[in-house]
Amino acid sequence: MRGGPPILSWEMTVLFLIAAGGVAGLAGALLGVGGGVVLVPVLVLGFKLPVEEAVPASLMCVVASSCAAAASYVDKRMSDIRLGLTLELATVMGALIGGLVAVYIAPAMVAVVFGLFALYVGLQLLLVRSPQEEPVQGTYTPVNYPLGVSGSFVAGGLSALLGVGGGPLKVPLMSYGMRVPFKVASATSSLMIGVTGAASVASYAWRGHLKLALVSPLIVGVLAGAHGGSRLMPYVSTSLLKKLFAGLLLVVAVQMLWKGGEGLWPSIWK
């Protein structure tokens, strides 16, 4: 349409924000990623918001998604609370440091590195088949805690820098690096990302980038979607969840590589 996109009324904008939050909450609860990977591109590309406003809004929705989903997972004994508390200490430290140094690190370079990681893990989930059935909750023992702690620290920093909640890194870290069953890793990640998001969003709120008028309708949708996703997840097969997670990671990889490329190419050609 010539002359620019049509301007939506405030009522229609609120409805679209609620719908976007619902999709993000559903995906976040099912896959343990908080929904930030859905909301940030939707807010930036679809609603034309600056990144400094989209990221804290996404992080607030990550907190809401975690509160809605984690309660259900804990009640169903799907979350590994001991593992989650151990890793979350490192994650919060990473989130606090990431929020403080965000203004000094080139987001384009961070986006490229994260995009390459997401591409690798997504392809591995799609192409590498597990040789045996995963153990169920209570019949496994997490291994490689040093890797889990250091990886959680990095996940916290990425959460603050990119507003993705750290879930795209935490779930494969626990599932592949620590040999935690995939559903348990997703449920435990849902428990952890709320604390991570709260620690990350604090620095943005302090700088005045958190817009409550934007966040309120998003949270309404996120709470509804996360509640539905947490009730649905126990009945979805692990293989399907892995495929959905792989697809989400590939979408994230494309988004992050595109975002990073846009920021890096001008400096390369100067």
Higher confidence at residue 103 or residue 39?
A: 39
What range defines the domain where residue 195 resides? 10-269
pLDDT tens string 80-117:
888 888 888 888 888 778 777 766 766 677 777 777 87
The answer as to whether 4 is a domain residue is no
Residue 2 lies in a domain: no
Q: In whole angstroms, what is the distance from residue 102 CA to residue 107 CA?
A: 8
pLDDT for 131 equals 44
Q: Does 198 map to a domain?
A: yes
Q: What is the 3-state secondary structure (H, E, C) of the chain?
A: CCCCCCCCCHHHHHHHHHHHHHHHHHHHHHHCCCCHHHHHHHHHHHCCCCHHHHHHHHHHHHHHHHHHHHHHHHHCCCCCHHHHHHHHHHHHHHHHHHHHHHHHCCHHHHHHHHHHHHHHHHHHHHHCCCCCCCCCCCCCCCCCHHHHHHHHHHHHHHHHHHCCCCHHHHHHHHHHHCCCCHHHHHHHHHHHHHHHHHHHHHHHHHCCCCCHHHHHHHHHHHHHHHHHHHHHHHHCCHHHHHHHHHHHHHHHHHHHHHHHHHHHHHHHHC
d(C-alpha 143, C-alpha 124), whole Å = 20
pLDDT at 129: 60
Whether residue 208 is contained in a domain is answered as yes
Q: What is the pLDDT of residue 107?
A: 65
72 within domain boundaries: yes
Which residues, 6+ apart, have CB-to-CB distance to 145 below 8 Å?
A: 86, 178
pLDDT at 152 over 80: yes
Please check the confidence at residue 7 and state whether its pLDDT lies above 60.
no
The whole-chain average pLDDT of the chain stands at: 76
pLDDT tops 80 at residue 202: no
Asked if residue 3 is part of any domain, the answer here is no
Q: Is residue 158 part of a domain?
A: yes
Phi first, then psi, for residue 22 (nearest 5°) are -65, -45
Q: What is the pTM of this model?
A: 0.69
pLDDT value for 270: 44
Structural domain count, the chain: 1
Q: Which of 36-45, 74-83, 130-139 has the lowest mean pLDDT?
A: 130-139
Asked if the model's pLDDT at residue 2 lies above 50, the reply is no
pLDDT tens digits, residue range 222-248? Answer: 888 888 888 888 788 878 887 888 887
